[in-house]
Amino acid sequence: MTRPPSTGIRTFARRSIPRRPTNAALREHLAQHEVGKLIEVVKCNRHGRRDALMVFLTYRHGLRAAEVVDLRWEQVDFKAATLHVRRVKNGMPASHPLTGREMRELRQHQSESPPSPFIFVSERGSPLSAPGFSRMVERAGVVADLGIKVHAHMLRHSTGFKLANDGHDTRSIQSYMGHRSIQNTMRYASLVPGRFKDFWRRPIDQ
């Protein structure tokens, strides 16, 4: 049996190169203490009080970047301590209660800000942009050194995870987050630690 003539070119079997795991392969939310670290970092910005309030409200109300920069004073009811949340992406609007801390910080921020219908504005009074807010959060994540690449939408996921971890029912979380489909809310319940804790309470041989 004769062998085919050699071409002089060596061939190698292709080896699959393991891909670097992304945030999606790890986690897409932050714990509450990690959000606290982000807030402490942005307090050192030139407009630290404003930036810290933006991050705090984004986390407390599960806002997207486009929603937090579009917040307007007309959405804040100081008498009723309520924030009327408007959602993008055809999300469901809702009225959220404001804590005492939020009320105090919003009042102080209002007294220090240029006149504008928007809550968060630049020195010239123009509304901030969603990409600008996202870049600010990403920079804060690097400085906070949380061991994970941080992006602005993680704050919204962190809200859902916190509410699910606190034991709130899925329907209520759906309304709070403004999800049209409950399937988008179910992801947070699947992340709750200890949800399978009592599955094997009895010995396996019983």
Any domain includes 90: yes
Rounded CA gap, 100 and 111, in Å? 17
Q: Is residue 58 packed enough to be buried (19+ CB in 10 Å), middle (13-18) or exposed (0-12)?
A: buried
The answer to whether position 37 is within a domain reads yes
Phi and psi, residue 127, nearest 5°: -65, 150
Number of domains in the chain: 1
Could you give the residue ranges of the DSSP H alpha helices within 43-90?
48-61, 65-69
Q: Give the pLDDT score at 142.
A: 96
Please report whether residue 198 resides in a domain: no
Average pLDDT on 155-169 reads 92
Model pTM score: 0.80
Q: Is 197 within a domain?
A: no
- Separation CA 169–CA 83 (nearest Å): 21
**Residues comprising the chain, all counted:** 206
pLDDT at 199 (0 to 100): 61
Helix (H, G, I), strand (E, B) or coil at 84: strand
Helix, strand, coil percentages, rounded to 5, for the chain: 45, 5, 50
Q: Is residue 182 part of a domain?
A: yes
Does the structure show a pLDDT above 60 at 30? Answer: yes
User: Could you give the angle at the alpha carbon of 83 between the alpha carbons of 186 and 31, nearest 5°?
Assistant: 45
- Which residue is associated with the tokens 């795991």? 21
pLDDT in tens, 114-158: 999 999 999 888 999 999 999 999 999 999 999 999 999 999 999
Establish if 128 belongs to a structural domain: yes
Mean pLDDT over each residue of the chain, to the nearest integer: 86
Query: Is there a domain that residue 136 lies in?
Result: yes
Q: Give the CA angle between residues 63, 69, 74 to the nearest 5°.
A: 90
Q: Is residue 177 in some structural domain? A: yes
DSSP one-letter string for 122-177:
-TTSPBPPHHHHHHHHHHHHHHHT-SS---THHHHHHHHHHHHHTT--HHHHHHHH
Domain that holds residue 49: 27-189
pLDDT tens for each residue of 114-125: 999 999 999 888
Which CATH number covers residue 155? 1.10.443.10
Positions marked active-site: 64, 89, 153, 156, 179, 188
**Rounded Cα distance, 127 and 69, in Å:** 7
- Confidence band (pLDDT; 50, 70, 90) for 183? confident
